[in-house]
Structure 1
Amino acid sequence: MTSRKPGSRTRSKPKAGIRMAGLLGLTTFVLFGAIRLVDLPEKAMSPGKPNLIFLLTDDHRWDALGAMGNPIIKTPNLDALAKGGLLFPNAYVTTAICCVSRASLLSGQYESRHKINDFATDFSPEAVANTYPLLLKKAGYQIGFVGKYGVGENPPDTQYDFWACNRKGQPPYALTNANGKPIHHTDSVGHAISRFLTDFAGKEPFCLSVSFKAPHELDGNPPTYPIQERFRDLYKNVTVPTPETADPVYWNSFPDFFRTDQNIGRERWKPLFSTPELHQKTVKDYYRLITGVDEVVGNLVAQLKQRKLDKNTIIVFMGDNGFYLGEHGMEGKWFGHEESIRVPLIIYDPSLPASQKGTKPAKIALNIDIAPTLLAFAGIEIPKTMQGMDLMKNTARTDFFYEHTFMGSPRLPKVEGVVTRDYKYMKFIEHGYEELYSIAADPHETKNRASDPVYTQKLNELRKRYAVLKETVK
């Protein structure tokens, strides 16, 4: 990690090995809501441009949040942000896979425009310069990145004032600190946040981007969910309901090209959801990882308050894509169902009028909206190359284009489509296979209406809209 002296426009040169050692060498202070801080100056940041914090979870579906009505999961700190801010119940990603979605979050662009479609491709220098953090830096913000960058193999670490990321595209959960002691990735993120605030808070306006690995699985054979030990007994005495579409009839309803053991969604389902006992363990561990994130958010908010920065710091929270937890006989994301593409989104702005706090805007919000929204908060002109919208303004969006073209059949059949408020049209482009769901009437997407004559007019309408959007997103 590196820091910059107040008023300086140049970075200090890091010593070899200091980045991760500094991140992992701090003493653990998280004990579910407890926080320990060093003595802080009384001076608060002078009024002006707001500080910006963007929090991103990995594989976090929309309903895995107490504020979204989940009666089991414990997320009190995120729920408090939602209660004091805006909660978007209709938030989606334009591509449900980490590398593409993260590129869209940073650039404000669809995959069809930013062209990041795998885990190896880097942003071009020009593209990096037009990501929201670098545009904020150009406008005088100090910028930091913590956790998982997730775009390409050569992240732009030297262009940040503070960088605390593992260079691996998919970092491990089990880390070792400078004292040789084990530390969980979520805890290491919390420590890095504290370090950033110590070095930068109360000086120039800042933008801190925080990207958790949680609740992403740890890839392996089988994949696992390594949780923090202190949460091991959380949810122990509850029973997670089995989703309707976990019934084998729904997996068996897919066409032959999709319904194969080579499909990654099915491959990962077997060791994690193929028995009732595995289903209970996997979902509870997934929830435990999210509760660990919530703890870090609570500590972050406490630090902002102690530093007297809470009145001038905007916090935006989102998931990078959704996640199947056994629905449709799968584990993962990628495809067009609600479980895969719908995510939690909270915007907490302390200057929000009282009448708007705790409200739930019905508008369709997208991951490509994050970059323009953050820039707008800072009073920076939104580049015309960005395809997203400022979510704090009234938007006329009634639908959006969905695309997932990484890998292809049989592992991940490529799919594109259109999502509206009431309907969803998906086309598996390698096979010409179509899906049409009436989301309003069938929210769990149990019946594909593409061959139903009653829906022929709607199918043709969405086919035409799909052809238009496929061209306009380029």
Structure 2
Amino acid sequence: MNSVANDCMSQDSETRPNIVFLFADDLCTYSVGCYGNQDVQTPNLDRLAHDGVVFDKHYNTTAICMASRANVFTGMYEYKTGCNFTHGDMRPEIWAKSYPVLLREAGYLTAFAGKFGIEVEGKGLCEDDFDFWGGGPGQTNYQTAKNASMKKYADEYPHSTLSYAAFGKDVIREASEQNRPFCLSISFKAPHKPATPDPRFDHVYQGKKFTKPENFGREFGEHLSAQSKQGRQYPRFTDWNYDTDYDGEMAKYHQQVFGIDVAVGMIRDELKAHGLQENTVVIFTSDNGYICGSHGYGSKVLPMEESSRVPLMIYHPNSSLNGRQVRCDRLTGNIDFAPTMLELAGLSIPSNMDGKSLLGLLKNPTDGGHEQLSFINVYGPLPTHSLSCLTPQYKYTYWWYGEEEMEPVEELFDTQNDPLELKNLAGNSQSTDAIEMMRSKYDQQLDHWKKHAVNYNDYRRFGTLFDRHIPIEDKNLDSPKKSKSE
């Protein structure tokens, strides 16, 4: 054990909080009761929200599994992690500054279960960098028995969601016996497709009718860019039966979320059983949201609210806001988790990280967060690739791609006053000041990309493609492609 770890181990586990990081896959805000959906049953998540703080403007800076997980591990934007489907794996020097590595070096017992989501060159899934391992490659499997590291839980919990809770309970017991601070990270496969709910919960939504969001259907997507309709998100509105069987699809989706809710309850109960609830920070969020028919789209990836904004609830036992049902509307992102965990452990935040610690917002929810964030998509068909700039009020996207029947266009939404994104303010004469401000902020975000993007895995090229000031005919559309797929 190195000197840093020895210094940190000199502090007993009561002075350094334990960390439980719970990560859903494809879970949108309207899947959780505390975000206003009265059709769903999420009692344990709602209790976590009641006990802690709910974040209403929390975004994933890339809304797809692999890249989002790299964001979370490293606290950096995708163009600095160099990691996403069709681009390439993470380099070991990037992983060396991830929160699991840094916390373990500092003496934390570290554990991971579920969908790891990335690979590191020369290290694969990095299972040797954790004290307890229940992770798996690729998408993992809903059948517990088919996940090699989780087979021992298969008899009692044949569906993977609750098996991860059982893993978490084992880690909590072991850490308690060792009297060591721990960081438990669980990445549920649910509710990622193919929809495979745990049959023990079939009764929960049987015959249930669900209220459609007010922006549901193709008529509410006519004002959105032609570029956003070139990827698989557009046909999935019909391919996945949102148009013809909304209730059936949402019953399966929410039943998977119900399984997660039960798992969250199991983990929090285990913390209480060992007297650790008053020294454990619990964070719950998702790797990206999900478009379940809003605007006539399905899936994720795109910058619209349903796919980019996700639930975030944090319980810190020492927060004075606990139990007051406080909601934070400051702008936060998935790049903020690594800095938050490092500050919890008393560690300095590396200068390479783009995120900010969220701990200040657990003291004063109106002071902190980001003034602006990037939202990135460089996955899928080239026309859907785009860069967005987010502020607490606005979202600006420059759809750069153009061809004979498709011109580059801008989108500007006032997400504070128009959260359903029903009115594109770009081109509105009354929004001239707002569009000019957001163009400037966008240019700042792109300048950061140009200065800091890794020089591998095809990230430098986008500094040109996303530039508003360079004509489309001067942009190189050719790119090397790799075979890795979602």
> In the alignment, is the contact (CA less than 8 A) between 2:100 and 2:129 conserved in 1?
no
Residue 423 of structure 2 is aligned to residue 423 of structure 1: no
- The answer to whether 1:403 aligns with 2:361 is no
CA distance in 2, matches of 1:236, 1:330: 25
The alpha-carbon distance between structure 1 residues 130 and 46, as it changes in their structure 2 partners (threshold 3 A), is closer
Q: Is the 8 A contact 1:57 1:214 kept in 2?
A: yes
Q: Which residue of 2 aligns with 1:192?
A: 167
* Cα distance change on mapping 1:206 and 1:119 into 2, 3 Å: farther
1:321 aligns with 2:288: yes
Alignment correspondent of 1:302: 269
The alignment's C-alpha RMSD in Å is 2.3
Instruction: Give yes or no for the alignment of 1:245 onto 2:226.
Output: no
In 1, the alpha carbon distance for the partners of 2:392 and 2:218 equals: 28
Partner residue in 2 for 1:162 = 132
Q: Does 1:268 align with 2:244?
A: no
Aligned counterpart in structure 1 of residue 89 of structure 2, from 107, 112, 122: 122
Distance 2:183 2:193 in 1: 28
Aligned residue among 63, 72, 75 for 2:42: 75
For 1:441 and 1:327, the matched residues in 2 are separated by 18
Secondary structure (helix, strand or coil) at the match of 2:314 reads strand
Aligned to 1:57: 24
What residue is the counterpart of 1:445 in the other structure? 421
8 Å CA contact 1:122–1:155 kept in 2: the answer is no
- Does structure 2 conserve the Cα–Cα contact (< 8 Å) formed by 1:266 and 1:330? yes
Distance apart, 1:354 and its partner CA: 5.3
The equivalent of 1:464 in structure 2 is 440
Contact 2:336/2:355 (<8 A) preserved: yes
Aligned partner of residue 63 in structure 1, secondary structure: helix
In the TM superposition, residue 251 of structure 1 has moved relative to its aligned partner by 3.6
Query: Which residue, 196, 199, 203 being the options, matches 1:226?
Result: 196
Query: In the alignment, is the contact (CA less than 8 A) between 1:252 and 1:259 conserved in 2?
Result: no
**Residues 98 and 320, structure 1, Cα contact 8 Å, conserved in 2:** yes
For the Cα contact (< 8 Å) 2:162–2:263, is it kept in 1? Answer: yes
Task: Kindly provide the CA deviation profile for residues 193-228 of structure 1, in whole angstroms up to 9, marking residues without a partner as x.
Answer: 12222333342111111100111112xxxxxx1101
CA deviations over 1:232-291 (Å, ceiling 9, x no partner)? 12123432112232232234444544435xx21123222323434x21111121111111
Gaps of 5+ in 1: 10-44, 219-224
Cα separation, 1, equivalents of 2:162 and 2:216: 33
Q: Structure 1 stretch 114-123 or stretch 56-65: which is displaced more?
A: 114-123
Deviation of 1:353 after TM superposition, in Å, equals 2.0
Q: Distance in 1 between matches of 2:92 and 2:418?
A: 45
Q: Distance in 2 between matches of 1:259 and 1:388?
A: 31
**Distance (Å, rounded) in 1 between the aligned partners of 2:13 and 2:441:** 49
Q: Does 1:96 align with 2:69?
A: no
Residue aligning to 2:113: 146
Q: 2: distance between equivalents of 1:67 and 1:338?
A: 17
Give TM-score, length-normalised by structure 2.
Answer: 0.82
* CA contact 2:27–2:290 (8 Å) conserved in 1: yes
Cα contact 1:273–1:326 (8 A) shared by 2: no
Q: Which residue of 1 aligns with 2:470?
A: none
Distance 1:382 1:357, change over 3 A: farther
Distance in 1 (alpha carbons) for counterparts of 2:323 and 2:162: 33
1:192/1:356 CA distance change after superposition, 3 Å: closer
SS at structure 1 position matched to 2:41: coil
SS at match of 2:112: strand
Q: Distance in 2 between matches of 1:179 and 1:385?
A: 39
- Seen in structure 2, the aligned counterparts of structure 1 residues 466 and 255 have a Cα distance that, compared at 3 Å, is closer
Give the letter aligned to residue 228 of structure 1. D
Partner of 1:86: 53
CA deviations on 1:373-432 (whole Å, 9 max, x unpaired) are: 11111111111111111111242522211111113336xx10111112222111123232
When normalised by structure 1's length, the TM-score is 0.84
Q: 1:355 to 1:281 in 2, by over 3 A?
A: closer
Q: Secondary structure at the match of 1:246?
A: coil
SS at match of 1:201: helix
Per-residue CA deviations over 1:149-202 (Å, capped at 9, x if unaligned) read: 1013721111111111122x1112123245985811202212221222233334
Matched, 1:434 2:410: yes
Q: Quick check: 1:208 aligned with 2:184?
A: yes
Task: Give, in angstroms, the shift of residue 69 of structure 1.
Answer: 1.7
Find the aligned partners of 2:170 and 2:322 in 1 and give their Cα distance.
35
1:82-127: CA deviation from partner (whole Å, max 9, x where unpaired): 1111111111111111111110001000112111122673322221
Deviation at 1:130?
Answer: 0.6
Give the Å deviation of 1:298: 0.6
Aligned pair in 2 of structure 1 residues 119, 135: CA closer, same or farther (>3 Å)? farther
Tell me, yes or no, if structure 1 residue 174 matches structure 2 residue 157: no
The answer as to whether partners of 2:335 and 2:355 remain within 8 angstroms in 1 is: yes
Q: State the distance in 2 between where 1:378 and 1:187 align.
A: 28
Amino acid at match of 1:339: E
Structure 1 residue 313: deviation in Å?
Answer: 1.1
Indicate how the Cα distance of structure 1 residues 256 and 315 shifts in structure 2: closer, same or farther if over 3 A, else same.
closer
Opposite residue 172 of structure 2, the aligned amino acid is L
Query: Paired residues, what number?
Result: 421
Percent identity over paired residues: 31
Cα distance in 1, alignment partners of residues 273 and 86 from structure 2: 39
Q: Structure 1 341/234 Cα, relative in aligned 2: closer, same or farther at 3 Å?
A: same
Q: List 4+ stretches of structure 1 deviating above 6 A.
A: none
Partner letter of residue 256 of structure 2? L
Change (3 A) 1:296 1:355: closer
Aligned CA distance change for structure 1 residues 450 and 48 (closer, same or farther; 3 Å): same
- Are the counterparts in 1 of residues 114 and 164 from structure 2 also a CA contact under 8 Å? yes
Cα distance in 1 for residues equivalent to 2:84 and 2:330: 27
Q: What secondary structure, in the 3-state scheme, does the structure 2 residue paired with 1:208 have? A: strand
